[in-house]
Each structure stands twice: as structure tokens, then as C-alpha cells.
Amino acid sequence: MARATEFMRVTDLHAFYGESHILHGLDFVVNKGECITLLGRNGAGRSTTLRAILGLTGRRTGSIMINGREAIALAPHRIARLGVGFCPEERGIYSSLSCEENLLLLPQLGSGGMSLDEIYEMFPNLYERRHSQGTRLSGGEQQMLAMARILRTGARLLLLDEISEGLAPVIVQRLGQIIRQLKEKGFTILLVEQNFRFAAPLADRMYIVEHGQIVSEIHQHELQEKHYLLQEYLGV
Amino acid sequence: MTDIFGVPVPALMGQLMLGLVNGSFYAILSLGLAVIFGMLNIINFAHGALFMMGAFVAWMGLNYLGIGYWWSLLLAPVVVGLFGIVIERGLLRWLYQLDHLYGLLLTFGLALIIEGLFRYRFGVSGQPYAIPEQLGGALNLGFMFLPVYRGWVIAASLAACFFTWFMIEKTRLGAYLRAATENPKLTQAFGINVPLMVMLTYGFGAALAAFAGVLAAPALQVSPLMGSNVIIVVFAVVVIGGMGSILGAIVTGLGLGVVEGLSKVFYPEVSSTVVFIIMAIVLLFRPAGLFGKEK
């Protein structure tokens, strides 16, 4: 029964960059429609987890089941086609393309992606800046663009890496609203965050990552009673 | 007869046309080099050998199989393009993680092997390849006689350059290519089959070189050395134009062909070095090339 609602199950995931062993056997589950946050200190392996899911690290072992398909041995473009959208930490806006070209570049991965109109409704700034060169956008606009472009593709699982990093509080607030809207639209979201105050109210469940392993799982309703864990691992 | 700086106009125009013909070859070849370098990060020293192979495929097609010029213009790029794909899949793809130097050394070695094999089979003296009937003769333009074949080479080269530019700048495939050139890993993570595009890019670059080779077959002699004769100048063209700029490769290729041609009229002693003198000057003032962006 639980299987039916599972979008992704990661089992004993190890990942390497060259000789260095970064992930040491992660296990976690993301259910359909959930917003999951990976919390942890810098260098704990959270971003590497997202990159390993997409096959962007070096060697990886273990199992990554996405929508019932084993993805551990697939090439990155095949993993994306299982319905995975990625918003990288460095945002990855193509400098040689305009804002709208960036939006339109990504290929369709599945049906049910948002239309350009819907996207501009959600991100009105991008409509105003649609003809600007990608790198002329402000940090906040680039972040919006990096998120917006994966919504068009029909990806149902969004991997969002440190989207609140380095942005003004008012924009972080706006991103929070957008995440809520995306949840209402049925997207499944895996969020990597350092900003606990941003992530905590959004997440259905949180996993704490330490030394490339999951050390704890906290449900939204356990936030109060497990606060000591957050203090212990994150110092918040 | 009118003179310009003491040179009769027909002689001047003749050298100008020859310069444009050479410039057309430079443009197509440096375009292929620039596209390959952008996507694969490999300085393709084998480009001259692929150019030579194109000419030889046309020559062998004619002499062994009776395949004429027009079919060769189509078939030689396909044959050499497939050869390029085999090279990419079999050899080059193991080098992408390494320094540029390894790609340069490997393709340099390949060029020597390919050239050696053709020298072993055909010797170093050139083989003649007749100009196709439809393109023979010359047109009287009033101020000069234009050999039809030269006009055709220039027109066909410009068409090939325009086709390449259009594919890269104006099509969806080209947008993927530009995205993959800028950030290959992320582009693949968005669901685009980047390894396939890399393979096709090298195949296309090889096909473009072969196309130039077939165009060159009647204009120059078909010889195993024709590639290495031209490739050094082409590398200078790429350096002057700036790596990774399509328009830069085309404009610089044609422009330097013309400069080379005119120098043969006004100061023949410098004609074989003028390109390298310009290269040195450009490198002094614009190290990234005339059309390149500083990193």
C-alpha cells in the first residue's frame, strides 16, 4: 500500500567525487505530493545527494527507485526523463540565452507541465524581464527563473538546491509562497536548505544529514518535541 | 587598361578571387574547428586530414566507382562524417575529462596516421580531379574574367557557413547545442542527451571538412598533403577570429584569404607569412581574438 504513494525511494546510496567518498549509505523516501527537506551543516552531503540522484557525481552505488524504475545505472538525461526537475545551487542560468529562451529551452519530460502563461502568472517579474539576457537578471530573478523553467517540463519531482541562499528576506518569503502553491498543484518537492526558518514551515518531513548519512527524521508535527535534535545537529 | 597602384585591374581581381576561394576553405574549416572546440573542448588537429579525406573520397569515387562530382559533394561528407563519429565514440570520448593537450596530441597522431596511409597508397604527387562540365569556363564580368568554378566554391562555402550558423543560432537543436557548450552536465540533467549531441557535433565538423575537401578537389590537386598544407593557416585563422565564435570564424576566414591574395599582388615575398604576422599583432592587442570574449 505504501508503495503506491512512493515517488522516490533511496536505499544505501553511496556516492564519490573521484577518490573521495561523500555519501555513506543514505536511506530515505519521498512520497507523492510531499515536500521533504534535507537539513544539515555545510559539507554534510545534502547537495551531493541531489546531484547523486541525477547522476551528476562520480561513481554511485545503492538503489534509487523513481516512479518504480531503478535509476542508479541510468545516464543523467534518462533520469531526468523519469520526471525529475533540477534547480541547482548555482542556478545554472544560461548566459548566452535570454530569460524567455532559458524558460523555453528545457525539453518536455512528461505531460502536465505548466504553460508559459501560468508560469508568468506565478512569476510576474519574469514576464517583465523576458527579453533580458539571462545573466542580467538580479539574483532573485535568476532564482525564480531557475525554478520556473523546470515547471514547464512536466517534471513531477522537483529537486531544489538552496533556493533561499543569498536572497533578500522579501524574496525568500515569496519563494515560500511559491513552494506552497506548487504543493497545492501536486508537485513532489525535495528541498535542500540551510535556512531552517524557511524550510521548517514548508516541509511535511525533514531528514537531517550528517557525514553523508541520514541521522534523523522529523515529521512536521514532531517539530516541538524533537527540537533538541535540531539544536544538536544544526545549532538552531 | 586601368591600373590600381600600378597593378592592372584584372590581375588584382584575379588574386582577389583566388584569395576569396582560399578564404572560403579557411572559413569552412575554422568554423568546424570552432564548433568542435566549443562542444568537445578538443583542438582537432585531424581537421586537415578530414579535409584531405573528403577530397580523396571524391577522387576514389570518381576513379573506382564512377561517382561524379555532385554525388560526391553529398556522399563524401556522409562517409567522412561517419568516420568522425567512429573516432569520437572510439577514441575522443575518453579524453573529455583531461587537459586540452591530450585531445590535441591524439588528433595530431590521428592526422599523421591518416596522412601516412594515404601517402603509402597514393604517394605525395597530386592526383588531378577535373572540374565538372557544368562549372567549367569563365564569365566575362566586364572588368575581369571570373572562372565559374571559383565563383561556385565561394557561393557553396558561404551557403555551408550560413547553414551551419542557422542550425546553431536559430533552431531548437542549436539551442541545445549552445546550452550544452555552456554547461554540459546541467544540460544533460535537464533531459537532453548530451553525449549524442557531442557525437553528432564531431561528425558534423568532420562532414563540413569533407565538404570543403570535395570543393577543393578540382581547385587544388588531390594530394595526401593538402590537409597539412592548409591546417596551420586555419589554426591561425581560428586564433585571430577567436575560439567559439561562429561569425568570427567565417569573417576572419574570408578576410584573411583576401589579405593573403592581395599580398601576392603587392608584396609576394610576404604572402605566405602575412597571416602569421597578423596573428602575432592580434594576439598582442586582443589575446582572445577579434571576435572572442575574454574569460
Q: What is the pTM of this model?
A: 0.85
What would the grid cell of residue A93 be? 542560468
Residue B93 has pLDDT above 80, yes or no: yes
A47/chain B closest Cα distance in angstroms: 14
Yes or no: say if A116 and A172 are a contact pair by the CB < 8 Å rule: no
User: What confidence category does residue A1 fall into, taking pLDDT thresholds of 50, 70 and 90?
Assistant: very low
**Apex B83 CA angle, B250 and A107, nearest 5:** 70
Q: What pLDDT does B15 receive?
A: 85
Q: Are the CB atoms for B87 and B110 separated by under 8 Å? A: yes
Q: Give pLDDT, residue B73.
A: 93
Q: Has residue B132 got a pLDDT over 70? A: yes
* Closest Cβ–Cβ partner in A96, A106, A107 for B182: A96
Q: Does B93 touch chain A (CB under 8 A)?
A: no
Do residue A107 and residue B189 have CB atoms under 8 angstroms apart? no
- B185 in reach of chain A (CB within 8 A): yes
Amino acid code (one letter) for A147: M
B chain contacts of residue A56, beta-carbon cutoff 8 Å:
185, 189
The set of residues, in sequence order, having a beta carbon less than 8 Å from that of A143 and lying 6+ positions away, is: A91, A163, A167, A171, A175
Query: Please, which residues bridge with residue A218 across strands?
Result: A206
At B295 the pLDDT is: 54
* Test the B interface: residue of A93, A105, A109 with most B CBs within 10 Å: A105
pLDDT score of A2 more than 50? no
pLDDT at residue B244, as a whole number: 67
pLDDT at B6 over 80: no
| pLDDT above 50 (res B12) | yes
Cα A128 to Cα A146: distance, rounded to the nearest angstrom: 16
Decide: B224 and B119 in contact? Cβ < 8 Å.
yes
Stronger pLDDT, B229 or B294, i.e. the higher one: B229
The pLDDT of residue B265 is 83
What is the secondary structure of B180-199 as a DSSP string?
A: HHH-HHHHHHTT--HHHHHH
pLDDT above 60: residue B1? no
Residue B142: the pLDDT is 74
pLDDT at A4 exceeding the cut of 60: no
| pLDDT tens, residue by residue, A84-141 | 999 999 999 998 888 988 999 998 888 888 888 999 998 998 999 988 888 888 888 9
Residues of B in contact with A150 (CB under 8 A): 190
Let me know: does A202 contact A37? Beta carbons within 8 Å: yes
Partner residue facing B185 (CB), from A56, A96, A105 = A56
Grade residue B154 by pLDDT with cuts at 50, 70 and 90: very high
Q: What is the pLDDT of residue A113?
A: 85
Q: Based on the number of CB atoms within 10 Å of its own CB, is A16 exposed (0-12), middle (13-18) or buried (19 or more)? A: middle
What would the mean pLDDT of A2-28 be, rounded to a whole number?
86
Rounded-to-integer distance, Cα B220 and Cα B228, Å: 13
Contact between A92 and B186 using a beta-carbon 8 Å cutoff:
yes
More confident residue, A1 or B266: B266
Task: Count CB atoms within 10 A of the CB of residue A107.
Answer: 16
For residue A5, the model assigns a pLDDT of 87
How many CA within 13 A on the CB side of residue A130?
14
The pLDDT of B286-294, averaged and rounded, is 79
Angle between helices B9-40 and B47-60 (to 10 degrees): 110
Q: Which candidate in B98, B190, B198 is best for mutational testing of the A interface (most A CBs within 10 A)?
A: B190
Is pLDDT larger for residue A227 or for residue B184? Answer: B184
Percent of chain A surpassing pLDDT 70: 98
* Mean pLDDT, range A146-166, rounded to an integer: 91
